[in-house]
């Protein structure tokens, strides 16, 4: 019996590569409605660039968000998206990942959305260590609802809910996350250094497990001058670099000369760095690829058919069904 073979010419290969290559425009949708100068614009650009560079298939990529300015991001991505309710982005994303582990899932949430109403979900998402990439857009204020103090607002912040200034010290999302069991990836970036912003988000995406990335961003509408001291003084930014972290280009090193070679495996030093706010530490604080993912521990290899799903739902309904009594007859 003659075996038929099919050969592909070099031209065919080049044509196939050309057809499969995607551009940033392939991931863009709509016109962003954020304020001019809002850090969300920089985050969106970095995410779209990542999708292009990694060749992520739009039909295999999901962005999940809660409520807030940051949570509009899925509307501007030409992928699947879920705009959830306040504080509930993480449980939705976890459900997506459990049901469809083949999908790439990102979570975009704000400091109010995550650290206030969604705080319980945040803690347990870190503990479960599911393969999700979470970006905390932290502008240290409730922006969409017109300037209320958030858990990360600096003490003394005057807002509509704290007209005399906030009384409590700001919550530190880094130290909280590093204190949770099973934590596997923690990083911090700022929106005005796009090179590092992109590198860290890319590293978070490539990490197998729950990646927590805090992005300190500017809010030109409600907190226009909050980050100016750090924005205009490069010496107040500490760049973290390591062979297992991110690399600092020579051009960036000429501007930001304050650097530390930090091993992301060093939890004790990571916690020390996380406690600092001036200079702002930027880079990967902690990474442990050996922590098991919850979906790998619990995933059922059996194929979920429609009949299996229907029978499971009916079995649950039967637990609460009250059957009418009949004369001497049983069901």
Among 183, 217, 157, 171, residue whose Cα is nearest residue 290: 183
pLDDT of residue 141: 86
Hunting for tokens 């390591």 — which residue is that?
242
Please report, for residues 150, 163, 252, the alpha-carbon distance to residue 247 in angstroms, rounded to integers and kept in the order given: 33, 43, 10
Element (H, E) at 197: helix 194-206
pLDDT of residue 130: 97
Distance CA(43)–CA(216), nearest Å, equals 10
pLDDT of residue 321: 80
Helix axes 89-99, 119-128, angle to 10 degrees: 30
Task: Give the pTM.
Answer: 0.85
Give the domains, in start order, of the chain with CATH numbers: 23-299 (3.40.50.970)
Distance CA(293)–CA(125), nearest Å, equals 11
pLDDT of residue 1: 45
pLDDT of residue 301: 66
Element (H, E) at 229: helix 228-231
Question: From first to last of its 331 residues, what are the pLDDT tens digits of the chain?
Answer: 444 445 556 655 554 555 578 999 999 999 999 999 999 999 999 999 999 999 999 999 999 999 999 999 999 999 999 998 888 999 999 999 998 999 999 999 999 899 999 999 999 999 999 999 999 999 988 888 888 889 999 999 999 899 999 999 999 999 999 999 999 999 999 999 999 999 999 999 999 999 999 999 999 999 999 999 999 999 999 999 999 999 999 999 999 999 999 999 999 999 999 999 999 999 999 999 999 999 888 766 666 677 887 888 888 888 888 777 766 555 5
Residue 308, number of CB atoms within 10 A of its CB: 11
Distance CA(90)–CA(106), nearest Å, equals 10
pLDDT of residue 300: 63
Distance CA(300)–CA(315), nearest Å, equals 19
pLDDT of residue 330: 56
Q: Kindly give, in sequence order, each residue whose CB lies less than 8 Å from that of residue 173, ignoring residues fewer than 6 positions away.
A: 111, 114, 115, 136, 138, 152, 212, 214
Among 160, 148, 73, 64, residue whose Cα is nearest residue 111: 148
């Amino acid at each position: 019996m003659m075996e038929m073979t099919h050969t592909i010419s070099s031209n065919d290969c080049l044509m196939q590569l050309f057809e499969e290559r995607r551009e940033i425009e392939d991931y863009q949708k709509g016109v962003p409605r954020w304020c001019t100068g809002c850090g969300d614009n920089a985050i969106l650009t970095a995410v779209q660039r990542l999708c292009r560079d990694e060749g992520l298939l739009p039909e295999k990529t999901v962005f999940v968000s809660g409520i807030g300015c940051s949570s509009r991001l899925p509307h501007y991505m030409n992928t699947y998206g879920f705009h959830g309710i306040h504080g509930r982005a993480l449980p939705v994303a976890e459900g997506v990942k459990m049901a469809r582990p083949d999908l790439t899932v990102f979570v975009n949430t704000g400091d109010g959305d995550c650290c206030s109403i969604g705080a319980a979900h945040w803690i347990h998402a870190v503990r479960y260590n599911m393969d999700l990439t979470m970006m905390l857009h932290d502008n240290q204020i409730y922006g969409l609802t017109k300037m209320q103090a958030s858990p990360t607002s600096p003490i003394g912040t005057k807002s509509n809910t704290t007209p005399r200034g906030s009384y409590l010290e700001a919550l530190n999302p880094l130290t909280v996350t590093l204190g949770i069991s099973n934590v596997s990836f923690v990083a911090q970036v700022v929106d005005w250094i796009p090179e590092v912003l992109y590198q860290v988000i890319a590293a978070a995406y490539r990490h197998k497990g729950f990646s927590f990335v805090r992005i300190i961003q500017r809010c030109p509408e409600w907190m226009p001058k909050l980050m100016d001291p750090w924005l205009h003084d490069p010496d107040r930014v500490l760049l973290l670099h390591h062979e297992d972290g991110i690399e600092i280009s020579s051009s960036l090193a000429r501007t930001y000369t304050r650097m530390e070679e930090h091993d992301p495996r060093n939890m004790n030093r990571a916690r020390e760095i996380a406690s600092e706010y001036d200079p702002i530490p930027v880079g990967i604080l902690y990474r442990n690829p050996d922590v098991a993912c919850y979906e790998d521990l619990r995933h059922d290899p059996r194929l979920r058919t429609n009949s299996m799903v229907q029978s499971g739902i009916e079995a649950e309904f039967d637990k609460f069904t009250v059957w009418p009594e009949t004369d001497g007859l049983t069901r």
